[in-house]
């Protein structure tokens, strides 16, 4: 049979990647286009959905111009997109304002007023815990950094936006609207609205009790369809913009966390992966619904119909490396003599490799935008600790990589308790996974075998492509582990075990000793 191909869109915080895959997950090539993020006082973090669309159009056209495959053999488009970035659209499908991204915390006061009450536990009244946890697996984040917080922000502080909203959409579902003209969400992409009953994983539906409790009009929420349903074909305008036939089918698809689960190859229960992008997470599929309220870990619907995954996310991972590059090493303030070189990540990788484990005593905490798990605290802030007159730039580079890994170990210990088993090996994907030194650091810090997936930057896009391939009948989910290849396998170095155990204890002490100070400084 003639080969067929899938156009996979990975929309992330820093930009859009569009990649071309065979139906068996082989990457032919990709293009990337950056998109700006607009930060405001009080925790605002917005993006213009038009910037997303322009980036997708530009990357798709550049990719197609490379003639990696005949256009007539591209059979589907599938999107992966940032979890908990919310778009309010009018009846014509047009955004009423910028998207509130997963970093936007301005809805925190509204969430707090809804969630607190008599007999509070970690900011939630007992009645709200009993209302939300059994049904939704979690509750609106007190940080305001989820779809529920965004909707409450609009309702209470932008009532004109709320009133005119026809539909609140996750970013993946908005992109699908642009592609097809049709509105739908998947059980996974709607999860952080915290308005769905997920107790029956095969029959996820909006819950009237939760809608009333949050004060949200259920008619403003999209209908639910499976991630492997075919939403439709390309709308004429989208087909013209992208340069594809209108016959190309569009898959409902999944949010980025769930797409990454599939693209990492870890699709069987208790097979885990680590993602290192702007944010990071440690996920695995599980056969049960459960919630760890104390450490913000829960079961949510997976992209694989009928499955849960263990959900957690840390706020800033690869974003810490970008902070180091853009704010410290090569700031655009006239102090740096040159802009970052094109091979900056390769240089940072080599620099970190020249420094011994432990960064000569320097410790970095990556809480540059607060933290989500295993503690939810929007007031935390990052920093370098234990610097001396002998500390050099290379030490700081490695300290950033180690700090992100130590932060990930913090949640990893609770993930293993959550699933009640040792998770080994771990598949590593995301832009940060390209740094070989980082892969070895994760193996040493976790004391686990870490497998770097081939083309790790394309993990989310590959997941979207796999979902499309399953939807069209080319493969089955059980085929995926054999289709994913590994570029490198990192074994933990026993000689670094004590170094990282000691550093981890001090990393936790930094949090314990300074959390009240951060609250005072950033309240």
The whole-number average pLDDT for the span 350-371 is: 97
Domain termination residue (choose one: 252, 287, 306): 252
The whole-number average pLDDT for the span 494-508 is: 98
Distance CA 499, CA 7 (A): 45
Plot region of 293 (φ>0 → left; ψ -120 to 50 → alpha; else → beta): alpha
Q: Kindly indicate the confidence band of residue 275, based on its pLDDT and cuts at 50, 70 and 90.
A: very high
Residue 293: other Cβ atoms inside 10 A: 14
pLDDT of residue 108: 95
pLDDT of residue 117: 87
Domain termination residue (choose one: 252, 278, 298): 252
Tell me which DSSP letter residue 106 carries: T
- 214-257 confidence digits (pLDDT tens): 999 999 999 999 999 999 999 999 999 999 999 999 999 999 99
Do 518 and 382 sit in the same domain of this protein? yes
- 94-122 confidence digits (pLDDT tens): 999 999 999 999 999 999 999 998 888 88
Do 500 and 407 sit in the same domain of this protein? yes
506 lies in some domain: yes
pLDDT for residue 464 is more than 80 = yes
13 lies in some domain: yes
The whole-number average pLDDT for the span 500-519 is: 98
Do 209 and 344 sit in the same domain of this protein? no
507 lies in some domain: yes
pLDDT for residue 2 is more than 80 = no
For residue 330, the domain's CATH number is 3.30.420.40
Q: Kindly indicate the confidence band of residue 332, based on its pLDDT and cuts at 50, 70 and 90.
A: confident
Task: Label the pairing between strands 272-276 and 426-429.
Answer: parallel
The tally of CA atoms less than 13 A away on the side-chain side of residue 141 is 32
Find the farthest-apart pair of alpha carbons in the chain and give their distance in angstroms, rounded: 65
pLDDT for residue 425 is more than 90 = yes
pLDDT of residue 121: 83
Does the CA dihedral 135-422-513-432 come out positive or negative?
negative
Do 248 and 381 sit in the same domain of this protein? no
150 lies in some domain: no
311 lies in some domain: no
Q: Kindly indicate the confidence band of residue 336, based on its pLDDT and cuts at 50, 70 and 90.
A: confident
302 lies in some domain: no
Q: Kindly indicate the confidence band of residue 1, based on its pLDDT and cuts at 50, 70 and 90.
A: low
Task: Label the pairing between strands 308-311 and 280-286.
Answer: antiparallel
Do 248 and 322 sit in the same domain of this protein? no
Do 65 and 212 sit in the same domain of this protein? yes
Mean pLDDT of the chain: 96
pTM: predicted TM-score of the whole model, two decimal places: 0.93
Domain termination residue (choose one: 216, 233, 252): 252
Do 215 and 68 sit in the same domain of this protein? yes
pLDDT for residue 481 is more than 70 = yes
Q: Kindly indicate the confidence band of residue 523, based on its pLDDT and cuts at 50, 70 and 90.
A: confident
pLDDT for residue 314 is more than 80 = yes
pLDDT of residue 118: 83
Domain that holds residue 360: 318-423+495-522
Number of separate domains in the chain: 2
pLDDT of residue 214: 96
pLDDT of residue 339: 87
Do 236 and 329 sit in the same domain of this protein? no
Do 171 and 246 sit in the same domain of this protein? yes
């Amino acid at each position: 049979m003639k080969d067929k191909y899938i156009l996979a869109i990975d929309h992330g915080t820093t930009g859009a990647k569009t990649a071309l895959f065979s139906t068996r997950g082989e990457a032919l090539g990709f293009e990337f286009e950056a998109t700006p993020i607009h930060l405001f006082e009080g925790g605002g973090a917005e993006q213009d959905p038009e910037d997303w669309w322009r980036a997708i159009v530009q990357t798709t056209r550049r990719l197609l111009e490379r003639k990696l495959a005949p256009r007539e053999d591209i059979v589907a488009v599938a999107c992966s997109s940032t979890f908990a970035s919310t778009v309010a659209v009018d009846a014509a499908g047009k955004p009423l304002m910028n998207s509130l991204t997963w970093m936007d915390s301005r809805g925190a006061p509204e969430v707090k007023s809804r969630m607190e009450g008599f007999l509070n536990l970690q900011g939630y009244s007992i009645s709200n815990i009993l209302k939300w946890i059994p049904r939704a697996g979690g509750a609106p984040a007190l940080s305001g950094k989820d779809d529920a917080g965004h909707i409450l922000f609009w309702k209470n502080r932008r009532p004109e936006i709320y009133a005119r909203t026809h539909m609140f959409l996750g970013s993946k579902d908005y992109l699908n609207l642009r592609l097809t003209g049709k509105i739908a969400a998947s059980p996974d992409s709607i999860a952080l609205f915290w308005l769905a009953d997920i107790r029956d994983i095969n029959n996820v539906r909006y819950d009237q009790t939760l809608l009333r409790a949050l004060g949200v009009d259920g008619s403003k929420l999209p209908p639910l369809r499976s991630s492997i349903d075919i939403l439709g074909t390309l709308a004429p305008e989208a087909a013209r913009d992208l340069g594809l036939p209108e016959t190309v089918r569009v898959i409902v698809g999944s949010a980025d966390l769930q797409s990454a689960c599939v693209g990492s190859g870890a699709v069987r229960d208790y097979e885990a992966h680590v993602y290192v992008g702007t944010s990071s997470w440690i996920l695995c599929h599980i056969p049960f619904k459960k919630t760890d309220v104390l450490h913000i870990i829960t079961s949510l619907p997976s992209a694989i119909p009928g499955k849960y995954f263990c959900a957690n996310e840390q706020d800033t991972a690869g974003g810490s490396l970008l902070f180091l590059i853009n704010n410290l090493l090569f700031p655009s303030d006239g102090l740096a003599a040159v802009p970052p070189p094109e091979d900056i990540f390769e240089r940072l990788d080599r620099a970190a490799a020249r420094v011994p484990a432990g960064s000569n005593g320097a410790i970095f905490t990556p809480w540059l935008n607060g933290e989500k798990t295993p503690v939810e605290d929007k007031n935390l802030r990052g920093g370098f600790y234990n610097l001396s007159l002998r500390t050099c730039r290379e030490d700081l580079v490695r300290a950033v990589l180690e700090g992100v890994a130590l932060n990930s170990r913090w949640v990893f210990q609770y993930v293993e308790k959550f699933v009640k088993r040792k998770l080994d090996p771990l598949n590593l994907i995301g832009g940060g996974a390209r740094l070989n030194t980082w892969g070895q650091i994760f193996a040493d810090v976790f004391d686990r075998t870490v497998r770097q997936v081939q083309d790790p930057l394309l993990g989310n896009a590959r997941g979207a492509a796999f979902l499309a391939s399953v939807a069209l009948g080319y493969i089955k989910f059980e085929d995926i582990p054999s289709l994913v290849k590994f570029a490198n396998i990192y074994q933990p170095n026993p000689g670094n075990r004590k170094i990282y155990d000691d550093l981890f204890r001090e990393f936790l002490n930094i949090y314990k000793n300074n959390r009240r100070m951060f609250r005072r400084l950033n309240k």
